[in-house]
Amino acid sequence: MSTPSFTSLIPAAGTVQADPVIAALALAPVPAERPYTLVNFVSSVDGRAAFHGRSRAFSDPGDRAIFHALRERVDAVLVGASTLRAEDYGRIIPDPDRRARRVAAGRPAEPLAVTITRSGEVPLDAPLFAEPAARVVVFSGPELDVRSVAADVRVLPLGAEVDGDGGLHAAMATLCHDHGVESLLCEGGPHLFGALLRAGLVDELFLTLAAKLAGGDSGPSITAGSPLSELAQLELAGLLASGPTLYLRYAVTS
């Protein structure tokens, strides 16, 4: 499989590839009580995050290159339970070369996989849970019986709510203090992203803007749930292009 090249427009002009760009990211110092948190989404130009219930139609080789490079970079990957139910989640790093690079750098072969659910409706038949090498943390309202799955799954209770955050601050603190997670990649979905934003827990947004239109008026945008009390301000930290697609990196500044 060929590695896609990108035209870099910001911060520097040139031709680049995803892996070195993502590997060189200067992730800001970690606040003591939570991981440094990146969010990654793909969207159509008309702002849809899913087409017929899935995001796959918007993705392209450039998006997948950034997606996998980000996974290789972080300590944990967080996904909302609804996305876990909608998308076919498998092992986090399927490429053995990527796993080997992490191990050579003294890191676990794969990031910790994390999900969060109030209902306890976790699709234990998803390929992720059939993977013996996978390490998974599930923050769950109800207790779950995970004895039937091959993955190493820890089910942790949702922590106390802070300002209606659904236990997100507590979950971030647990990941940081008990699981050594300094960098976290949230892959959605929109409700979880919205909740993380409202709780002030997002540092950066990676957004692939696919040159596609989904139409209609009912598809989700990349954020959902209650609106923010004030607009989140973004600073453009990176801009790549490949063919008709734009790949944006924003810092969430307030």
Ligand X SMILES: NC(=O)c1ccc[n+]([C@@H]2O[C@H](COP(=O)([O-])OP(=O)(O)OC[C@H]3O[C@@H](n4cnc5c(N)ncnc54)[C@H](OP(=O)(O)O)[C@@H]3O)[C@@H](O)[C@H]2O)c1
Pairwise CA distance, residues 118 & 141, whole Å: 5
Establish if 246 lies at the interface with ligand X (CB under 6 A): no
Give least dist CB 96 to ligand X, A: 25
Q: Residue 8 or 83: which CB sits closer to ligand X?
A: 83
The per-residue DSSP string of 72-84 comes to HH-SEEEEEHHHH
- How many residues interact with ligand X (rule CB under 6 A)? 30
Q: Residue 11 or 164: which CB sits closer to ligand X?
A: 164
Asked whether 202 and 39 are in contact (CB, 8 A), the reply is yes
Establish if 82 lies at the interface with ligand X (CB under 6 A): yes
C-alpha dihedral over 172, 26, 19, 190, to 10 degrees? Answer: 40
The DSSP element (H or E) to which 221 belongs, if any, is none
Pairwise CA distance, residues 4 & 199, whole Å: 35
Q: Which stretch binds ligand X (CB under 6 A): 8-16, 29-37, 74-82, 177-185?
A: 74-82
Q: Tell me which of 37, 55, 183, 245 binds ligand X, using CB under 6 A.
A: 55
Q: Tell me which of 5, 19, 25, 54 binds ligand X, using CB under 6 A.
A: 54
Q: Residue 99 or 122: which CB sits closer to ligand X?
A: 122
DSSP 53: T
For residue 201, the cross-strand partners are none
Binding mask 202-221 for ligand X (x = CB under 6 A): ------------------x-
